[in-house]
Amino acid sequence: MIRKIVQIGNPALRQIADSVDVNQIQSDEIQSLIDDLIETMRNANGAGLAATQIAVPLRICIIEVNKNPRYPYKPDIPLTVLINPKVTFLTEERIHVYEGCLSVPNMRGQVDRCPEILIEGFDRDGQEVSFISKGISAGTFQHELDHLDGLIYTDRMSDASSLTTIDEFAEHYEEKFKDQVINIVKKYGS
Ligand code: NI
């Protein structure tokens, strides 16, 4: 079922989501919530979606990038379901990337993200997962995990003047940013 994605200003986006009881991951309730997140994300051409964005305060988020028309420069990420995810930064380095969000319609803004992270959590089968993500993709994961702590990318912007509509982004910044992305992908592999 496609759910309504709440927008910036909705208090649901500012809630710190509750951990999921790992013994409940296989329940119909959690499994259908995950199916709804996937359907809702794909319907909106999102690169990810967190349960808080459909006003469900549980620590579940999904990420998928497959030649995304909203983010044509993003490297692909296979569908990843994360439950109770934790992130560990593996480097002091930061990359400066433009992000957007389905809960902040029509906008892009620059944020600093760690380009090498360890993610640990559970998948939809209740199995423990642990993997390293790098580069642009690492930023995508951090964006979604932030939602579970009530954070929106606009909170992470060090320079508010980089906030731009998508049309102005395409006209003034996208070409330059695509070159930055190529360099980030060269350096970090994704
Ligand atoms: Ni978002």
* Domain limits, the chain: 11-188
Catalytic residue flag (residue 144): yes
Phi-psi region of 81 (alpha: psi -120 to 50; beta: other; left: phi over 0): beta
In angstroms, the CA 158 to CA 135 distance is: 19
In angstroms, the CA 128 to CA 68 distance is: 28
* Count of helices and strands (H, E) across the chain: 4, 8
CATH superfamily for 11-188 is Peptide deformylase (3.90.45.10)
The alpha carbon of 36 and the centre of ligand 1 are apart by a number of angstroms equal to: 16
Q: What's the pLDDT at 67? A: 84
Mean pLDDT over residues 58-75, rounded? 90
Q: What's the pLDDT at 38? A: 98
User: Do 51 and 58 meet the contact criterion of CB atoms below 8 Å apart?
Assistant: yes
Has residue 37 got a pLDDT over 90? yes
CB within 5 A of ion ligand 1: which residues? Answer: 101
> What is the residue-averaged pLDDT of the chain?
96
Instruction: Give the global pTM.
Output: 0.96
The alpha carbon of 158 and the centre of ligand 1 are apart by a number of angstroms equal to: 17
Has residue 189 got a pLDDT over 90? no
Has residue 71 got a pLDDT over 90? no
In angstroms, the CA 137 to CA 141 distance is: 6
The alpha carbon of 109 and the centre of ligand 1 are apart by a number of angstroms equal to: 12
Q: What's the pLDDT at 51? A: 98
Kind of pairing, strands 77-89 and 95-101?
Answer: unpaired
The alpha carbon of 101 and the centre of ligand 1 are apart by a number of angstroms equal to: 4
Mean pLDDT over residues 138-145, rounded? 98
**Size of the chain, expressed as the number of residues it contains:** 190
The single residue of 64, 99, 144, 174 carrying the catalytic annotation is 144
User: Do 105 and 53 meet the contact criterion of CB atoms below 8 Å apart?
Assistant: no
Q: Count the neighbouring beta carbons within 10 Å of the beta carbon of residue 106.
A: 10
The alpha carbon of 147 and the centre of ligand 1 are apart by a number of angstroms equal to: 7
